[in-house]
Amino acid sequence: MLDVDMKGRVAVVSGASGELGRVIARTLADCNARVALHYFNGKDRATQLCEEIKSKGGEAVTIQADVSNKESVFNLRDEVRSKLGPADIIVNNAVQQYEWTSVLNQEEEDYESQFKTCVLHNVLMAKAFIPDMINKKWGRVVATNTECTMQCNPNQSAYISGKGGQDRVLRVLASEVGEYGITVNQVAPGWMISDRFRENPIDDSGYVKNVPLGHRGEDQDIANAVAFLASDLASFITGVFLPVAGGNVMPRI
């Protein structure tokens, strides 16, 4: 049986207080990674998750940072180093939320926020954490993208402009750092079932009818994909955009 064991690895999860971030961080901790839980304004949720991980015998710390600000991201790196050691794995999951509308009505500031928290976020995390990975000749970068990047549906323009730019940056990064044993991959969720939906379910039949597998996935499905790409099992996989969407989107060649 395959075993995902990250004992001795240090993982940083940005947006660890969010819907998907909580499950990703919890799963990495269950795989024995020591986890730095980043949050921006979700301190209470991050603290609760940290206590949960520790109660199960895991090791975790919470760290606040603004992922769109260079000084803040480098301070995040320094805190991770001092509390857990140099990072082996970074999961770039944080993104700013905003109200979706048409291109003609979308505020220019929303495009700026998505650039900062998608493209710049990934650039700054790379600049901060990859040099330590280069020194170790081992590292994992996993970022959350979205099926929306392939769909280009109405009202998605700001979001997918940021995620599209993120995709291109990370593909270039994968080419640049592969020689050091560092892989760079993306997981692209569909409309997943998370705690928010479980607490307040809404009609999702219009979405589900277009999913080949016939149902929505769970947040744990995303966390499982992240854990795989962050593990030794995925040592020869890099530059990948991996939809976890039940076939709702399918990259083509």
Active site residues: 159
Q: Kind and range of the H or E element at 109?
A: helix 108-114
Identity (one letter) of the amino acid at 133?
M
Identity (one letter) of the amino acid at 166?
Q
Query: Tokens 């979205």 sit at which residue?
Result: 146
Q: How far is it, in rounded angstroms, from Cα 48 to Cα 240?
A: 33
> What tokens appear for 168 in the block?
């291109």
Q: Which strands, in side-by-side order, build the sheet including 139-144?
A: 60-64, 34-39, 10-13, 89-92, 139-144, 182-189, 241-244
Q: DSSP secondary-structure letter at 131?
A: H
> What tokens appear for 236 in the block?
């020869």
Contact assessment for residue 245 and residue 188, using Cβ atoms and an 8 Å cutoff: yes
79 by DSSP, 3-state: which?
helix
Contact assessment for residue 234 and residue 228, using Cβ atoms and an 8 Å cutoff: yes
Q: How far is it, in rounded angstroms, from Cα 210 to Cα 107?
A: 30
Bridge partners, residue 10, by sequence: 34
CA–chain centroid gap for 224, Å, is 12
Bridge partners, residue 37, by sequence: 13, 62
